[in-house]
């Protein structure tokens, strides 16, 4: 009991009344993209473990090996004593795969975005910084931008024409401009037009920052993200090991000078304990195998195309997805909750995504396919979703 319980209870009650209350539910992962949730075995279409690597024997064994050798914790931040003698080799591999001079590993994707951005636009370093941010950028990017406290303009999602209008309006000023986007958007599964963004960044002398959380492992040359197609053209590429790469942590790839600057100024690196050795072991193993997984990536893309076509054929709205992330946009919270419960009964986990994670009126089930889902699982997803939504839309 706390004196403040009354305050927070009424906030919770308000969420419940609006159909927006969230609860933690017990889960235990199984092989082949399955999960036990609240005691029920389901095929998991809501995980970001796009290649199934979180259950891969090589990642597990190397995580154990590095844990045995170095211990369970790193004991301090990288700048104190936490800089395990494995970092240089890992960062060298990431930089090479990304076609950049340098790379830097950080604690988590959220921590990275939240603390990198304020360091990039510090007023004592960058005079008159101005931020341009895609309307659907992830919460961690928004957090970092807000913490930076500089003038910010939001451009319409993936609308490079709108972005150019905003940039043109501030040309001639002394502003140093920074563009923030994701390469694959987390809740919509659509892609940024990186070529157009690079052109704009060059034309208007902007810094370009791209978050590859959902592309890493899945898209681009050797699965190392869409930015790898444009080596040296993007000022800072950020990505995570927590989704397609099956473990935890974040990386950035950039110039040597920028990396050295960030080591001195990113609070999330300076004041947070370095990743545990076991996690670095899993990252090392993922970097060994991910570049060679083209067959798995091709299958995943084929499955995603099949699901999208089937959904669209049934008159369903999958937005502008072109990736393994396929939103089924239903708009109304109650409809989304009902469909998710009905799918659960058919052995399918499709977690509802509601505001504020997505805009008002855009509630959805966000399906995420994995390379370890077999054909039968994909068939079952298609038939369950199309049948249940037809039933839902039919008059009672
Ligand atoms: C998940 C996600 C993050 C955060 O990464 P974590 O490693 O989970 O903290 C950052 N950016 C985007 C676009 C994401 O989807």
As given in the structure block, the two tokens for residue 195 are 């070529």
CB crowding 244-256: b at 16 or more within 10 Å, else e: bbbbbbbbbbbee
Closest C-alpha to ligand 1, atom 15: 186
Residue nearest to atom 4 of ligand 1 (CA): 109
Tokens of 68: 């045995």
Q: Report the distance separating Cα 15 and Cα 13, nearest Å.
A: 5
Q: Does residue 214 sit in the same domain as residue 287?
A: yes
As a whole-number percent, the residues of the chain with pLDDT over 90 amount to: 94
Catalytic residue among 211, 212, 284, 296: 211
> Is residue 323 located within the same domain as residue 274?
no
Please write the tens of the pLDDT for every residue from 351-379.
Answer: 999 998 999 999 999 999 999 999 999 99
* DSSP letter for each residue of 83-111: --TTHHHHHHHHHHHHT-SEEEEES-HHH
Regarding whether 271 and 169 lie in a shared domain, the answer is yes
Which of the listed residues 224, 256, 291 is the one where a domain comes to its end?
291
Hey, which bits of the chain come out as E strands? 27-29, 34-37, 40-44, 102-106, 129-134, 151-155, 176-182, 207-211, 236-240, 250-254, 325-331, 348-349, 352-353, 363-368
Rounded mean pLDDT, 171-194: 95
Q: Is 186 a catalytic residue?
A: yes
What is the count of structural domains for the chain? 2
Residue 122 maps to which CATH number?
Answer: 3.40.640.10
- 182 is a catalytic site residue: yes
Return all residues near 270 (Cβ < 8 A) that are at least 6 apart: 77, 79, 264
Lowest mean pLDDT among 258-262, 333-337, 391-395: 391-395
From the list 56, 233, 243, 373, the catalytic residue is: 243
214 as an active site residue: the answer is yes
* Annotated catalytic residue within 98, 214, 233, 373: 214
The residue range of the domain holding 338 is 25-51+293-393
Q: Are residues 244 and 300 in the same domain?
A: no
Task: Please give the pLDDT value at position 217.
Answer: 98
Is residue 377 one of the residues assigned to a domain? yes
CA angle 165, 235, 117 (to 5 degrees): 80
| Residue 197 and residue 278 share a domain | yes
Residue 363 sits in the same domain as residue 267: no
Q: Please name the residue whose Cα sits nearest to atom 6 of ligand 1.
A: 109
Q: Any catalytic annotation for residue 211?
A: yes
Select from 291, 307, 339 the last residue of a domain.
Answer: 291
In this structure, the residues whose C-beta lies within 6 A of any atom of ligand 1 are 108-110, 113, 138, 140, 182, 186, 211, 213-214, 240, 242, 250
Domain boundary among 291, 325, 354: 291
The answer to whether 309 is a known catalytic residue is: no
Same domain (yes/no): 183, 309 = no
- Give domain status of residue 10, yes or no: no
For residue 352, give every residue at least 6 positions away whose Cβ sits within 8 Å of its Cβ, in sequence order, or none. 333, 336, 337, 340, 363, 364, 365
**Smallest Cα–Cα separation from 335: which of 361, 313, 356, 315?**
361
Both 277 and 230 in one domain: the answer is yes
Question: Are residues 184 and 74 part of one domain?
Answer: yes
Residues 119 and 184 in one domain: yes
CATH number, domain containing residue 387: 3.90.1150.10
Q: Which residues pair with 237 in a beta bridge?
A: 210, 253
320 in the same domain as 175? no
**Pairing outcome for strands 151-155 and 352-353:** unpaired
Provide the total of helices (H) and of strands (E) in the chain, helices listed first: 13, 14
- Quote the ligand 1 centre to 112 CA distance (angstroms): 9
Cα of 393 vs centre of ligand 1, distance in Å, is 34
**% of the chain surpassing 70 pLDDT:** 99
- 138, 143, 366, best to mutate for ligand 1 pocket (most atoms within 8 Å of CB): 138
Q: How confident is the model at residue 395 (pLDDT cuts 50, 70, 90)?
A: low
**pLDDT at position 396 over 60:** no
Question: How far is residue 325's CA from residue 321's CA, in Å, rounded to a whole number?
Answer: 7
Do 274 and 286 belong together in one domain? Answer: yes
Q: How far is the CA of 25 from the centre of ligand 1 (A)?
A: 20
Cβ-based neighbour number of residue 39 at 10 Å:
7
């Amino acid at each position: 009991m706390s004196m403040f319980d009354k305050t927070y209870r009424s906030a919770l009650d308000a969420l419940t009344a609006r159909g927006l209350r969230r609860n933690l539910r017990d889960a235990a992962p199984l092989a082949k993209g399955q999960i036990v949730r609240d005691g029920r075995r389901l095929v998991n279409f809501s995980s970001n473990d796009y290649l199934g690597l979180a259950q891969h024997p090589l990642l597990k064994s190397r995580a154990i090996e590095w844990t045995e050798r170095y211990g369970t914790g790193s004991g301090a931040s990288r700048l104190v004593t936490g800089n395990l003698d494995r970092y240089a080799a890992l960062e060298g591999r990431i930089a090479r795969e990304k076609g950049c001079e340098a790379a830097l590993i950080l604690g988590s994707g959220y921590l990275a975005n939240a603390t990198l951005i304020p360091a990039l636009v510090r007023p004592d370093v960058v005079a008159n910084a101005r931020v341009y941010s895609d309307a659907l950028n992830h919460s961690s990017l928004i957090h970092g931008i807000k913490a930076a406290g500089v003038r910010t303009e939001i451009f319409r999602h993936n609308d490079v024409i709108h972005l150019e209008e905003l940039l043109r309006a501030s040309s001639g000023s002394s502003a140093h401009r920074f563009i923030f986007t994701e390469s694959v958007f987390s809740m919509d599964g659509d892609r940024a037009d990186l070529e157009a963004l690079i052109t704009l960044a060059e034309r208007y002398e902007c810094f370009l920052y791209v978050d590859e959380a959902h592309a890493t492992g899945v898209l681009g040359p050797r699965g190392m993200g869409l930015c790898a197609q444009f080596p040296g053209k993007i000022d800072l590429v950020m990505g995570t090991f927590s989704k397609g790469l099956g473990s935890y942590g974040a990386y950035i790839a950039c110039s040597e000078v920028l990396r050295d600057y960030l080591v001195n100024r990113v609070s999330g690196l300076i004041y947070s304990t370095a990743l545990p050795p076991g996690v670095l072991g899993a990252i090392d193993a993922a970097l060994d195998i991910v570049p060679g997984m083209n067959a798995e990536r091709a299958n995943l893309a084929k499955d995603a195309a099949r699901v999208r076509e089937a959904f669209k054929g049934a008159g369903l709205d999958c937005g502008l997805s072109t990736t393994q992330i396929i939103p089924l946009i239903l708009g109304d919270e109650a409809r989304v909750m009902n469909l998710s419960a009905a799918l659960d009964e058919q052995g399918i986990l499709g977690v509802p995504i509601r505001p504020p994670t997505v805009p008002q009126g855009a509630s959805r089930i966000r399906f995420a396919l994995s390379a370890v889902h077999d054909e039968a699982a994909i068939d079952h997803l298609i038939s369950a979703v199309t049948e249940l939504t037809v039933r839902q839309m039919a008059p009672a």
